[in-house]
Amino acid sequence: MGRSDPIPACARRLGHDLRALRLARNVTQAALAAHAGVSVHSLKNLERGIATLRTLVLVLGALQRDDWLALAGVALPVGLADSSRRIVTPRQRAAGAHVAGGHAAR
């Protein structure tokens, strides 16, 4: 398979779109991975376009985006798209002091 193979490009686009959706919902990779029941490593691979179908289905279920699979004529198993599993974990950021003029800003 050469560079013109459309599958890797499609997988990278899907991974990019999933990452954008995760970030738009302000969810960390760790929180989404835990919620979906996959490893952070698997989620990172998915966002790079290198993942298993199992990881994709579990992550789409956790993000409540079963409509993405429905476009392909596939339905999520019962329970994976349950609204009670909605992720509401806020994103965590380091709260370091900003330096202005050599002194920490307060």
97: in domain: no
105: in domain: no
Q: Read off the pLDDT of each residue in 30-40 and give the average, rounded to a whole number.
A: 96
Q: Between 79 and 89, name the one with better pLDDT.
A: 79
Specify the pLDDT at position 94: 45
Cβ atoms of 47 and 38 closer than 8 Å: no
Helices 29-36 and 53-62: crossing angle in degrees, nearest 10, is: 100
Q: Which of 41, 72, 71 is nearest to 59 (CA)?
A: 41
pLDDT band at residue 67 under the 50/70/90 scheme? confident
104: in domain: no
26: in domain: yes
In this structure, what CATH number is given to the domain that contains residue 27? 1.10.260.40
Cβ atoms of 29 and 40 closer than 8 Å: yes
For the chain, how many structural domains are there in total? Answer: 1
Other beta carbons within 10 angstroms of residue 44's beta carbon come to 15
- The conformational region for residue 101 under phi > 0 = left, psi -120 to 50 = alpha, else beta, is left
Residue 51 structural domain: 6-88
Specify the pLDDT at position 83: 45
Cβ atoms of 21 and 46 closer than 8 Å: no
pTM for the whole structure = 0.67
Does the pLDDT value for residue 100 go beyond 70?
Answer: no
Does the pLDDT value for residue 72 go beyond 60?
Answer: yes
